[in-house]
Structure 1
Amino acid sequence: MGYVPNLHKIWVGTSDQQLMALCHEFPGFYRYALIMEEASEAERNKASRPYDGMAEVFEEHKQRAAQLLVTAATLERGYQAFRGSGNLQGFQPQVNELGQLHRKWLSELDSFKSALRAQGAEPRALEYVNEAFGHLVDRIKQFAG
């Protein structure tokens, strides 16, 4: 989900000709956008979801969660790019910078979870946060390793 804001900016902020050129140059972009669109539509049309009926979370927490997801996507893309280059030594300053961002992100994630607990968020909501972000923590750790 951390990629969605960037995808949306591209999707609505470009002309039809630019989108066609982008899809032609990067065929995976069109497939990815189509998958995201289909997933979003399927989610909207579902009769019920396991999070239906969950207590509303304050807007500030929604914004923090969205920012944490965006940062997670940035970390994931960054680590993948440097790993894919095959030459981590040549990018050591950038890898170190990603490491700093990673540590800051982990700290902000802990702070976010603490704020949710202090607010009295439902245990089920905390479970969802722990599960979703737990997968991200593990994946980013694997890429950073």
Structure 2
Amino acid sequence: MSMNEFRRLAAKIDQHMQQLAALGVSDTHAIINRMVGYVPNLHKIWVGTSDQQLMALSHEFPEFYRYALIMEEASEAERNKASRPYDGMAEFSEEHKQRAAQLLVTAATLERGYQAFRGSSNLQIFQPQVNELGRLHRQWLSELDSFKSAPRAQGAEPMALGYVNEAFGRLADRIKQLAG
């Protein structure tokens, strides 16, 4: 990926963090919950940039930096736990992990898009964009159903299915609320 692509991803993260700040969302757990769709993009930036590039992005996009710091601290805290309820659980296939990442990225796009139109006094002007978001939302829900049925069909552990349902259920509920 090029630096311009990393800048575009960091700018999206920065924008959503600014939207959350404008809504008064400041609790770390709430931010993590509301920004989970950006984890794949953050990971791309994290592993694809040099230290100098990452520092430049952090300076240019302060809310991106804040999000990266929150996620790094949360990851470190999770790693340092003596045990976790999911320890020993079988991992999903690489293909399924990639599908999950794509669903998260699309969820972030939907959230950011719906938030941008929220509060607009005249949605008629943006009707084509709102219609496109609606189409993307329906497609996302269909892909989410397919994603969730695959591990069930492969006999995944009930606890793993519960984690998937919980994480994506919160995202789906939040997007539905924003779309309404």
CA distance in 2, matches of 1:118, 1:39: 32
Q: How does 1:1-145 map to 2 (within 5 A)?
A: 1-10=36-45, 12-13=48-49, 15=53, 18-19=56-57, 21-23=59-61, 27-145=62-180
The letter for the 2-side match of 1:34 is L
After TM superposition, give the deviation of residue 2 of structure 1 in Å. 1.8
CA distance in 2, matches of 1:68, 1:51: 21
The letter for the 2-side match of 1:88 is L
TM superposition score normalised by structure 2: 0.71
RMSD: 2.0
The answer to which of 11-20 and 80-89 deviates more is: 11-20
Q: Could you say what secondary structure the match of 2:87 adopts? A: coil
1:63-108 deviation per Cα after TM superposition (whole angstroms, max 9, x unaligned): 1111111111111111111115444222111111010010001001
CA distance in 2, matches of 1:37, 1:118: 34
CA distance in 1, matches of 2:167, 2:54: 34
**Gaps in structure 1 of 5+ consecutive residues:** none
Q: Could you say what secondary structure the match of 2:85 adopts? A: coil
